Amino acid sequence: MKTKAVRGGTVTMFVCFSLLALTLSTLSACTPFTTASVAPTKATRVWGLPFKTGTPVTLGALGLHDDNFGSMPGVGFTYHFSGAGTIQDASLDLLPVGASVPVIPLAPGKVLATWPTCHLVVVDHGNGVWVEYLHIVVAVTPGQQVTRDTILGRTTTNVSTGEPCREVSEGPNGPVEHVHFAFLQGAGEAGAFQSMVGRTLCGYLVKQDANGTLMNVNDTPQTITPGQSFTVPTCPTGGTSVTPTPKLPTGTIKEFPTPTPQSYPNSLVSGPDGNLWFTEGMIGGNASAIGRVTPSGVITELPTTTTLI
The per-residue pLDDT for range 244-279, each reduced to its tens digit, is 444 455 566 777 788 888 777 877 888 889 898 888
**What pLDDT sits at residue 10?**
29
Give the pLDDT band (50/70/90) at residue 18: very low
Instruction: Using pLDDT thresholds of 50, 70 and 90, give the confidence band for residue 161.
Output: confident
CA distance 257 to 149: 66
Q: 4 or 157: which carries more pLDDT confidence?
A: 157
The whole-angstrom distance between residue 80's C-alpha and the CA centroid of its chain comes to 27
pTM of the model: 0.63
Question: Which pLDDT belongs to residue 221?
Answer: 59
User: What long-range pairs does 269-275 form, CB within 8 A, spacing at least 24?
Assistant: 269/3, 270/3, 270/4, 270/5, 270/14
The SS3 of residue 184 is strand
Q: Is the pLDDT of residue 107 over 80?
A: yes
Instruction: State which amino acid sits at residue 240.
Output: T
d(CA 179, CA 267): 64
pLDDT score of 285: 58
How distant, in Å, are the alpha carbons of 43, 74, 144, 220, 232 from that of 196?
16, 25, 25, 19, 18
185 pLDDT above the threshold of 80 = yes
Q: How far apart are CA 175 and CA 190, in angstroms?
A: 30
122-144: average pLDDT: 96
